[in-house]
Structure 1
Amino acid sequence: MAEQQTQQLEMEQLTKGSKIKKYNREKQKQARRKELETMVSSIAKKCVTSMDDQGKKKVRVLVTMVDIILSRLYDQGVYVKESQWEELRKTAEYAQKNNQTLLLLPAHKSHIDYLVINYVMFRLGFQIPHIIAGENLDIPVLNKLLKSSGAVYIRREWGDDALYKAVLEEYISLIFQKGCHQLSMFCRRNTLTFSLLIYYYNPGKVLAPKLGILKMVVESFAKGRFSDCWIVPMTASYDKIMETQSYADELLGNPKQQETLLGVLGSASVLMEKMGRVDVRIGKPYSLKEWIKEQNELRGPLDILNEGEQKSTVLKSLGYRVLSDINAITPVMPSALVGTVILTLRGRGAGRSELIRRMEWLTQMIRAKNAEVVAIPGMTTDNLVDRAIAIHDQLIGQRREKDLLEPTFYGIDRFELSYYRNQVIHLFVEEAIICASLYTIIKKGGGKLDQRMQFSTLLDEVTFLSSILKIDMIYKPGTIKDNTHRALQWLVDNNVLYFDHENGWVGLSQVERNSGRENYDFLCFLIWPFIESYWLACVSLFTLTPPIRAPQDKPVYVDNSLFIQRTQALGKTLYFQGDLSYLEAVNKETISHAFSRYEQQGVMVRKSYKQPKVWSEVALDTRYIPERYNSYLIPEGRLWELAERIGKFRREGKNRRDNAAVSSRVLKLAHDLAEQNNQSSANQKMLLKNASKL
């Protein structure tokens, strides 16, 4: 890098008509090298852990603190499955003999994850793992304590910073190359091997994997830096997440608060709460070497280091394999069941007896999917319902009117409560998409023969909706047709739908009709908030229309952050005016995923910049710029057709039966926002101009 920078300086000097003398050139190169070495030292000091003999006391202090915190916060205990940990122990013993590393890959649900995972590893005799953590957690005073316990602080984004990437890659490679032997003085009795922890961000459900660190591990293996490592999917499930309020605020568009020591200590009031229990689960460990060997056999010879497309395919496959493993081992907590039931019932509330009945049904359906529902010995379903309501008394309210015939409960904060519903959706995503697809005909009403659909038509609708939602949803392996057949058969077996194989008709079963469509509606309620988000994101693209006085055939670029803020403001307006059914539709994370999907489909385009900071701006592809009539946006053209197609799957509401009225309200709001694009564009040009001067 010093050589490259010196060459660049030479080129600049040549353009000015001068030349660097050989002596001065070497001097310049050495000066640049010293600057780079200083930067390397600074990067390493920030991220490298300080796990050593002096750190033993700090670890004991931290473990004592965590013991107190967990026993107060999760008063009903931290639970593990002995058989899973015994299998991990055997894998670790084998890995230690062969100087190999355990790569722990848990889903990230709470900051408590860091404490819980380390605490369980320590208590069960494993070496405390290195934990990849964002720099925002590098909190004064606590940072030294956490670094001595394995914290590796990294930037959330490093873009094209080659030096930072090189240092981090070398550190990760050394961790896997040295293994336990590097830190043998720190190993407790029965400690088995060295571990690395990588987190996937998770606002209630698993999302598309972030592959930055995993990419470094795979590349390091491909370069022969280490012989093998063992991938270990993990998850920690909670009756209650202490950060759901801050998650909800952030996803609603409020500024994210930077963690500080004062903030952490300020949350100590939660230690007075009783948040139930924690359940830690571990998937079956498997060899990275063997997995890549299988990929070679499946896809043909792979050149991961030199073929970028092959590397991308392998990384995505591994990332989604891990997410699938995490979904498979994640138990459903009783609190998640109650939250899901409350959010998937029609009406303003539910009686206690109805909550109990639906919770029993949902428990039965989840177990029919071969998934685990956490059982608490000695507690009946009604006890579990009462327990969940007590734990979530700030999210689930009880009607206090004196003349009510039975206790009636409702969701106080449905947006925050949706965090718990999202913990269930992965189990039923294919079935929910089928039900939402069938809803396109069911919502039109009529008799039984009017509310059925040919399987071929249903498959077309399922294919479209599955493709739209592919970033947000994790599907089971297999073709869309095979998955649809399997999910449809499950719905038939559970008396939700019928399938006339001979004539190809699919519709509601008579049992489901007789029950008031409650199970069918439950599945639709799971997926509808996400459909609403994608519809909102689609209609918000109308706000990217060039202003009236601007050329209509040229895209107008708008700052991406501003565009997302506008979209959320549009969504909140439509929600409070009755044109959206769910406030969850303005979820910032889901909206961002929707825009990424539309970018993949060529509906919108993006430009990215690195100065004065990393940012981007977005615009409509010219093929999707909406049409105008007498200066007003009209519901025609390719973009409106896409919005209409997605809108078919939305939940029907009293304000949405008149499509013309909806389109006029939405397009009027979009028109007003689009007229601000000239000023936005001017501001962006000024920003770029100032950045180029810098």
Structure 2
Amino acid sequence: IFFANEMDQPFFSTPIQYMEIKLLNRIFRHCGSFYVREDEQNILYKAILREYFSLLMSDKKTISVSMEETREKSGMQVKANINVLESVLSSFFEGKTRDIDIIPMTINYDRILEGETFPYELVGEQKVKESLSRFVASARYIGTPFGKACVNFGSKISLKEYVENMGIQQHQVINLSDVEQNEVIKSLTRTIHECNSELSVIMSTAPLASVLLQNRKGISQENLSKSLEYVYEELSARNAVFAEKSTLNGDLSSSMTLLGEFVKKKRDVFEPMVSPKVDYKNILMLAYYKNSLVHIFLKEMIIGVSFLGFGKDTIKLSGVSKERVWNKVQFLSEMLDGVFVQDSIKITDYDDFEKTLKFMEERKILYLEDDLMKYETPHNGQNGLLFLCSLIWPFIDTFWLTMVYIYTLFPENHVTKEKVLSKIQWFAESLYEDNIVLHYESCSFDIITKALEYFKSKGIIIIEEREGEGLCYCLDPVYRVDEESLQNIFE
């Protein structure tokens, strides 16, 4: 891409473990790679890294920086690595560089090469160590169909203009405190997230994966085609961008080829290929592809699942007041805030809630009758409400089962910080095998981590130092003596 557009090859940050790979480390370095230690707190190291970035900036070099701290394994955007971005921008705040141009870029794939290892990492197994032999072994994938890769570049963001729009003049930049610099970086990060969200495209495997996961017990080829067409229509109604216009017609054969190893077919019925304790990774990979479109439906998903939570009979017969649904929407929005990083896709206030309701009525997902929200079975056979709920149920299940596990800590139990994720994940798998939790992707480490962060932020659990065990998760002292309060939260 850079060669075709006569652009200089950018310098790019690479995790430090790649420096240990013989031969490859030299190739990467000659291609512009520099190795960065993640979460490094050494003051001298950080100072040298900042100075290195300053030298590159003063020479007007291009630097490629990944927004994620590690490889993203959930299929969604994740919080940016502010530490690396802070180092890159340090020369601007120190007055060594008058301006820095930032160009957001996204890469979307029909199918990812790392599909063989991602699922295992999501359920707690050790990340496969990169090595020269593994790199050479990847040659076996030559000729394997991986579909398309879509690269998009956004509009340039001038850092100088950006801070001026925040009311900070050029001569004031050098006098900004660390706190003020962090505020600028956080604001810039949110802007980049929004740009990346707009640049992201829907690849052919995402709609197919979402339909397959909604119909885990199988779906005929005829109904699969109809459901796929419906998903494309709903995505188009929300101004989603597709990799190719042809995918609007639902190119089932090509996308099914790409997801073939995760799906089995009996006669003309397709279903996820899952054998107990053997093929659970297939569910995780289908969820990975599905999650790339989830953010497009976020507002309607939260409203839909809040509405359906009152029961099918209630929403069909008597309906539910908008005020009651709004109360649940507020709770879910707050709970899932850390899962979705884009601010523009979140429900901001009651007016936004009502605006989204009207859109859902236009899409015939529900209908409004004065102050009531009601539902009726669609005549076209496409249940939009259940489709929306199927996208968000796994996330809610994760928070629910995490809360159930937290309840087992009452009153004085604790679990070490190193083991908490594996304990909850084991607990989640047990609930799945007992058919209490219906979505295996709810066992994902990534979402469990976010659930723990949420309950910690609410003061329900805390981290304490325990003699001989180190840092441990346990209940906040308030909930160790007041089980009723803990039950109220659970309810």
TM-score w.r.t. structure 1 length? 0.64
- Assess, with a 3 A threshold, how the Cα gap between structure 1 residues 639 and 295 changes in structure 2: closer, same or farther: farther
Query: Counterpart in 2 of 1:136?
Result: 17
Letter in 2 for 1:522: F
- 1:399 paired with 2:256, answer no
Q: Which structure 2 residues correspond to residues 110-149 of structure 1 after superposition, within 5 A?
A: 120-138=1-19, 139-149=21-31
Query: How many angstroms does 1:137 deviate by?
Result: 2.3
Q: Which structure 2 residues correspond to residues 476-515 of structure 1 after superposition, within 5 A?
A: 476-477=343-344, 479-500=348-369, 503-508=370-375, 510=376, 512-515=377-380
Aligned residues: CA RMSD: 2.5
Query: Counterpart in 2 of 1:455?
Result: 322
Query: Counterpart in 1 of 2:300?
Result: 431
- Assess, with a 3 A threshold, how the Cα gap between structure 1 residues 228 and 380 changes in structure 2: closer, same or farther: closer
Q: Name stretches of at least 5 consecutive residues in structure 2 with no aligned partner.
A: 274-281
2:127 equivalent among 228, 236, 256: 256
Q: CA contact under 8 A between 2:414 and 2:474: conserved in structure 1?
A: yes
- Quick one: higher RCO (CA 8 Å, sep 6+), 1 or 2? 2
- Assess, with a 3 A threshold, how the Cα gap between structure 1 residues 221 and 124 changes in structure 2: closer, same or farther: same
Query: Is the partner of 1:637 in helix, strand or coil?
Result: helix
Q: What does the per-residue CA deviation read over 1:81-120, in whole Å, with 9 as the maximum and x for residues that have no partner? A: xxxxxxxxxxxxxxxxxxxxxxxxxxxxxxxxxxxxxxx2
Query: How many angstroms does 1:212 deviate by?
Result: 0.8
- 1:270 paired with 2:152, answer no
Query: Counterpart in 2 of 1:338?
Result: 208
Q: CA contact under 8 A between 2:95 and 2:174: conserved in structure 1?
A: no
- Assess, with a 3 A threshold, how the Cα gap between structure 1 residues 245 and 616 changes in structure 2: closer, same or farther: farther
Q: Distance between the aligned counterparts of 1:291 and 1:621, measured in 2? A: 42
Query: Is the partner of 1:423 in helix, strand or coil?
Result: helix
2:36 equivalent among 154, 163, 172: 154
- Assess, with a 3 A threshold, how the Cα gap between structure 1 residues 408 and 568 changes in structure 2: closer, same or farther: same
Q: CA contact under 8 A between 1:219 and 1:305: conserved in structure 2?
A: no
Q: Distance between the aligned counterparts of 1:380 and 1:216, measured in 2? A: 42
Query: How many angstroms does 1:587 deviate by?
Result: 0.5
1:545 equivalent among 401, 410, 431: 410
Q: Distance between the aligned counterparts of 2:465 and 2:140, measured in 1? A: 42
Query: Counterpart in 1 of 2:278?
Result: none
Q: Distance between the aligned counterparts of 1:395 and 1:304, measured in 2? A: 55
Q: CA contact under 8 A between 1:127 and 1:195: conserved in structure 2?
A: no
2:111 equivalent among 240, 246, 260: 240
Q: Distance between the aligned counterparts of 1:239 and 1:314, measured in 2? A: 35
Q: Percent identity?
A: 25
- 1:587 paired with 2:447, answer no
Q: CA contact under 8 A between 2:232 and 2:248: conserved in structure 1?
A: no
1:638 equivalent among 485, 488, 491: 485
Q: Which structure 2 residues correspond to residues 72-111 of structure 1 after superposition, within 5 A?
A: none
- 1:295 paired with 2:166, answer yes
- 1:285 paired with 2:156, answer yes
Q: What does the per-residue CA deviation read over 1:609-668, in whole Å, with 9 as the maximum and x for residues that have no partner? A: 9xx9xx8432221122376xxxxxxxx523332222xxxxxxxxxxxxxxxxxxxxxxxx
Q: What does the per-residue CA deviation read over 1:381-409, in whole Å, with 9 as the maximum and x for residues that have no partner? A: 36x10111112211121115xxxxxx111
Letter in 1 for 2:17: N
Q: Distance between the aligned counterparts of 2:418 and 2:186, measured in 1? A: 27
Q: Name stretches of at least 5 consecutive residues in structure 1 with no aligned partner.
A: 1-119, 181-193, 401-406, 547-551, 628-635, 645-694
Query: Is the partner of 1:179 in helix, strand or coil?
Result: coil
- 1:624 paired with 2:471, answer no
Q: CA contact under 8 A between 1:233 and 1:285: conserved in structure 2?
A: yes
Q: What does the per-residue CA deviation read over 1:516-554, in whole Å, with 9 as the maximum and x for residues that have no partner? A: 6711101001111000111111111124335xxxxx5xx
Query: How many angstroms does 1:352 deviate by?
Result: 1.3
Q: Distance between the aligned counterparts of 1:302 and 1:459, measured in 2? A: 42
Query: Is the partner of 2:194 in helix, strand or coil?
Result: helix
- Assess, with a 3 A threshold, how the Cα gap between structure 1 residues 426 and 320 changes in structure 2: closer, same or farther: same
Query: Counterpart in 2 of 1:362?
Result: 231
Query: How many angstroms does 1:304 deviate by?
Result: 7.7
Q: What does the per-residue CA deviation read over 1:302-343, in whole Å, with 9 as the maximum and x for residues that have no partner? A: 8984252x4443322221221111111111011112111111
- 1:223 paired with 2:91, answer no
- Assess, with a 3 A threshold, how the Cα gap between structure 1 residues 290 and 132 changes in structure 2: closer, same or farther: same
- Assess, with a 3 A threshold, how the Cα gap between structure 1 residues 140 and 639 changes in structure 2: closer, same or farther: farther
Letter in 2 for 1:436: V
Query: Is the partner of 2:309 in helix, strand or coil?
Result: helix
Letter in 2 for 1:341: V
Query: How many angstroms does 1:515 deviate by?
Result: 4.7
214-223 vs 168-177, which moves further: 214-223
Q: CA contact under 8 A between 1:332 and 1:372: conserved in structure 2?
A: yes
- Assess, with a 3 A threshold, how the Cα gap between structure 1 residues 482 and 270 changes in structure 2: closer, same or farther: farther
Query: Is the partner of 1:462 in helix, strand or coil?
Result: helix
Letter in 2 for 1:624: Y
2:397 equivalent among 532, 537, 551: 532
Query: How many angstroms does 1:428 deviate by?
Result: 0.5
Q: Distance between the aligned counterparts of 1:295 and 1:582, measured in 2? A: 44
Query: Is the partner of 1:131 in helix, strand or coil?
Result: strand
Letter in 2 for 1:163: L
Equivalenced residue count is: 473
Task: Work out which of the two has the higher radius of gyration on C-alpha atoms and give 1 or 2.
Answer: 1
2:270 equivalent among 392, 405, 409: 409
Q: Distance between the aligned counterparts of 1:595 and 1:480, measured in 2? A: 26
Query: Is the partner of 1:544 in helix, strand or coil?
Result: coil
Q: CA contact under 8 A between 1:396 and 1:410: conserved in structure 2?
A: yes
Query: Is the partner of 1:486 in helix, strand or coil?
Result: helix
Q: Which structure 2 residues correspond to residues 324-335 of structure 1 after superposition, within 5 A?
A: 324-335=194-205
TM-score w.r.t. structure 2 length? 0.90
Query: Is the partner of 1:253 in helix, strand or coil?
Result: coil
